Structure 1
């Protein structure tokens, strides 16, 4: 994790971790829309967005340790850590490995359960195919599920932007990330033991991590709050950025004020 962008905003530091197989470019609307209420940091995770992949074995724990080092570089003892999709998996790894660095948690369009054997096998198949044939495989197999039906039907520019980000994903980083996600543990016990408030966000049209997955996480969390974003799929921050930003802004404002946050 070498490349990242930080807004010049005030308020709590908020680190947003991008979805697979995108980059920090997905957070443009959050960097702009949330800059007035929080310090937004949007890193590129290993191998994505021009960052260095390195030689470590694939692991979400490695990615979480990268985030902890980022906090050190930024001078943040603690921050709100949030992620969408794969970024949510890394956020849960942060909850396991670095709970003392958390002010709050945002889990967007993600799930706490581990992969099934079939899902792990499919990740390995896609990893091998991308290494063999390039990221065009992702356009055929991953892209269709990333956005909701409303985006496909009515937001051609958003869909085109997502397609471009998917096409630019580096094959080695894609394979590494797929294998890291395949090896992740079940995180429900981690969520049950979380000592800070958490905001769970899901798109009502998300077929990858549907609302039922979000509801299960909220039930496990001691202080969890759910926001369902209408007419959005798996990339709710891109598909409905204003609604996504409102939820994050309210959550961080209430964290800063000490009031119980709500979705």
Structure 2
């Protein structure tokens, strides 16, 4: 958890990004965390105490999620969200960055590298999503209906936060009230449903295999064996497309690896970050 010595800030510009920065003057690397769809930086809370001694940490709620503003003027495309995050990183002027993305956060990282290939020295994709096409035109047109946000709200309420967590977590006994409350909090305001409608409307399809194959950044892919949200075969396909990547499978785990296996994630992360360029070999499962 964050203590009073850790900096908590809000970056307000045309992208209205909310972030939390935990500095570490002795650290070589800054880890930048991007959460997944329907989530927030809350999902990384178990990693923070395991990593903050060795790294500076920047956790970002990317719009329209978490505590970032749900602006009606903002373009909720991957391209624009990625560009906004890159502007935020430039404002910090970090020397050595490792981008860490969970689920759709991984897709944002790939978009960032498409725009700025040297945005990070290394990337880590945890259950990284990929190859998802744009929403059908009929859904995009439906998003302009005045009551569309209510339909999205009702759709999410059918399964509820706990139901979604049961789909995302392999061992259901790991789901507790803290988790349920943390993932529910961003959805207590009506603004999120208006933001989701705009995200549905603006989001492009994921990057193509050809675009991914052009990304040369050293990459570690960590994937849960029994991920129902982003199946393991997606991780294998990503590993084949990313030319400088390694894939690790976490056994008996689902989609929410930062919740389910934080210690194992940190072990693989530390090993990957500590290896210098030129010392790694491609390793697929």
TM-score (norm 2): 0.78
Pick aligned residue for 1:100 from 99, 118, 136: 118
In structure 2, C-alpha distance between the alignment counterparts of 1:86 and 1:145, rounded to whole Å: 16
Tell me the residue number matched to 1:14.
31
Q: Is the 8 A contact 1:194 1:221 kept in 2?
A: yes
Is the alpha carbon distance of 1:248 and 1:178 closer, same or farther for their aligned partners in structure 2, counting shifts above 3 Å? farther
Distance 1:165 1:85 in 2: 20
Question: Any stretches of 5+ residues in structure 2 without a counterpart?
Answer: 1-15
SS in 2 for 1:76: coil
| TM-superposition CA deviations, 1:227-251 (whole Å, max 9, x none) | 2123322221122211222222222
Q: 1:44 aligns with which of 41, 61, 64?
A: 61
Decide which structure has greater helix share.
Answer: 1
Q: Pick which of 210-219 and 135-144 moved more.
A: 135-144
Q: Is the 8 A contact 2:37 2:103 kept in 1?
A: yes
Number of the residue aligned with 1:73: 91
1:168 deviates by 4.0
Which has more radius of gyration? 2
Deviation at 1:56, TM superposition (A): 2.7
State whether structure 2 residue 180 is matched by structure 1 residue 160: yes
**Secondary structure, counterpart of 1:82 in structure 2:** strand
Once residues 14 and 121 of structure 1 are traced to their aligned partners in structure 2, the CA distance between those partners, rounded to angstroms, is: 39
Query: What's the offset of the Cα at 1:196?
Result: 1.6
Separation in structure 1 between the aligned mates of residue 201 and residue 102 of structure 2, nearest angstrom: 18
Deviation by residue 1:107-150 (Cα, 9 ceiling, x = unmatched): 221233132766x8678879978711564532435754554453
Q: How many residues align?
A: 260
User: Partner residue of 1:29?
Assistant: 46
Match of 2:46, SS state, is helix
Q: How does 1:85-164 map to 2 (within 5 A)?
A: 85-115=103-133, 131-133=149-151, 135=153, 137-141=155-159, 143=161, 144-146=163-165, 147-148=167-168, 150-157=170-177, 160-161=180-181, 163-164=183-184
Q: Contact 1:107 / 1:201 at 8 angstroms: preserved in 2?
A: yes
8 Å contact kept, 2:111–2:207: no
> RMSD over aligned Cα, in angstroms?
3.0
Shift in CA distance, 121/165, structure 1 to aligned 2, threshold 3 Å:
farther
Question: Given the superposition, is the C-alpha separation of residues 65 and 30 from structure 1 closer, same or farther in structure 2, using an over 3 Å criterion?
Answer: same
Structure 1 residue 17 displacement after superposition: 0.5
Residue 134 and residue 122 in structure 1: after superposition, are their counterparts in 2 closer, same or farther (change >3 A)?
closer
Alpha-carbon distance in 1 for matches of 2:218, 2:195: 32
Mapping of residues 48-63 of structure 1, within 5 Å: 48-54=65-71, 55-63=73-81
**TM-score, structure 1 length as denominator?**
0.84
Instruction: Classify the secondary structure of the residue corresponding to 1:41.
Output: strand
* Greater length-normalized contact order (CA 8 Å, ≥ 6 residues apart): 1
